[in-house]
Amino acid sequence: MNQVYSRYRCPFFFLSLGLAWCLATVDLSAQIVQQAVGGIAVNADGVVEAPTIEDKAVLAGLRESALAAVPEDLQAFTDLRAVSLKQLEAEVAKHLASGTDLPESVRYLAGLQRVQYVFVYPEKNDVVIAGPAEGWRVDQLGNVVGATTGRPVLLLEDLVVALRARDVPQLEAISCSIDPTPEGMQRLRGVMRRFHSMGNPDQTMAAMEDALGPQVVSVTGVPQSSHFARTMVAADFRMKRLAMGFEPAPLGDMPSFMEMLASSRGSTSATPRWWLAPKYEPLARDAAGLAWELRGQGVQCLTEEDHFNSAGERQSSSKSGATATAWANKFTERFNELADHDSSFGALRNAMDLAVVAALLDKQGLLDKAELELAELTHGLVLSEYYAPRRVNSQATFVKRRKDFVVSASGGVQLLPWKVAEEIEEVAAVGDVRARLTAPSGNWTW
């Protein structure tokens, strides 16, 4: 009988998506985020640890008291709410000049849950982003989400990071990766050579975990101390936990990779690798290039087998195992359902949307068309810095299949937003939406 074995030595990795904010000072909620919010703690050395009982009690209290009342005009769900980048810039500049905190409505971008449209209004020197929106609350992971949908809201700090990432060379990906060290892989090889049978599963897995040691978190394209980076790492970590069966999927009928592997036939790599990547249809635009629509679910899961040379260095391949591919396809097919139940995945999609919007603004010169400068958003506003996740403890999981033992420890997120912004097709109906979306004078959202 095939069996799946695992040991829960690695901490949960849930991250707050918006409870901390500062301009030049750190407030109480920011201090809590640095310690433990949303199911993890990241210390000053970047080590991910399990939160204490006291941390969880603080989070529970924070969920009840951290948020102010949502403005009445932003409470109801709407399929289309607009945010003016021109007026948002002015709102931020006003609060910076007066030394006052930004209101939650600004920090949570009026409750937008996705960017569906980007509209340019040259006659008003404005660029507008629009999409579904509603009032907000804090969910059980500590994430700020829609009051009724549970989908995470867009965050101003992620928009700012995305806009500033336009300065990154276009060939450099916005990415994160959690990987074992070469030294750890060499030690793991030595341990695996010594084990000819499973023996005591706990002892075997403990030896594997100790040999592999802490894994390294790498981030490119955005600051590692940014919320954007934490969002990528959280989604990567959560995806791997579901794949390896360390916790059940929020969808009861979705198996883990390990469950699928236990019942499969044929050989498999000991180190399959999954990563999350963009999944968009071509961007729709009107004939004038003033109306744009982002289409598609936004995120997909991809896989390939990892190979390690004698020095323990990872070498990617173009091959992927059948079972690993089947699990990745299942994750992709059910991503929208998963995102509705796990806000870490929806938050990653939001971050990808914002990165694509920033790339679109840059590639198509939309800010220049509107003669719009966003000095505070692109340079002036000082964002919160979080303890950057740098190391994650290894966790072993094995499937006993005849004489095979399987362990996986790799994953990541990779986004090339400029590539997404290159795929375009003309759709006249997008211009019709722009024409209907008239803004009340001076309002930053409507």
Helices in 198-290 by DSSP H: which ranges? 201-212, 227-243, 257-262
Distance in angstroms (rounded) separating the CA atoms of residues 105 and 80: 16
Distance in angstroms (rounded) separating the CA atoms of residues 369 and 121: 8
Average pLDDT over residues 226-255: 88
* Highest averaged pLDDT of the listed ranges 172-176, 311-315, 440-444: 172-176
Reported confidence tier of residue 377, pLDDT bands at 50, 70, 90: very high
Q: Element (H or E) spanning 374, and its range?
A: none
Distance in angstroms (rounded) separating the CA atoms of residues 146 and 137: 6
Is the pLDDT score of 402 beyond 50?
no
* Highest averaged pLDDT of the listed ranges 17-31, 65-79, 362-376: 362-376
Task: Give the residue from 83, 74, 180 showing the smallest Cα distance to 393.
Answer: 180
Interval 141-172: pLDDT, tens = 778 999 999 999 999 999 999 999 987 777 78
Interval 65-101: pLDDT, tens = 767 889 999 999 999 999 999 999 999 999 999 999 9
Confidence (pTM): 0.88
Q: What local confidence, expressed as pLDDT, does residue 143 receive?
A: 83
The residue assigned the tokens 């930004």 is: 102
Q: What local confidence, expressed as pLDDT, does residue 320 receive?
A: 72
Is the pLDDT score of 238 beyond 60?
yes
Compute the half-sphere exposure of residue 23: CA atoms within 13 Å on the CB side of its CA: 16
> Which DSSP string do the residues of 141-205 spell out, in sequence order?
TS-EEETTT-PBPP-HHHHHHHHHGGGS-TTSPEEEEEE--HHHHHHHHHHHHH-SS--SHHHHH
Distance in angstroms (rounded) separating the CA atoms of residues 9 and 241: 12
Distance in angstroms (rounded) separating the CA atoms of residues 244 and 7: 11
Please give the residue that has the higher pLDDT: either 264 or 276: 276
Is the pLDDT score of 18 beyond 60?
no
Cβ neighbours, 10 Å, residue 435 = 11
How many Å separate Cα 73 from the centre of its chain?
Answer: 29
Q: What local confidence, expressed as pLDDT, does residue 14 receive?
A: 28
Q: What local confidence, expressed as pLDDT, does residue 32 receive?
A: 47
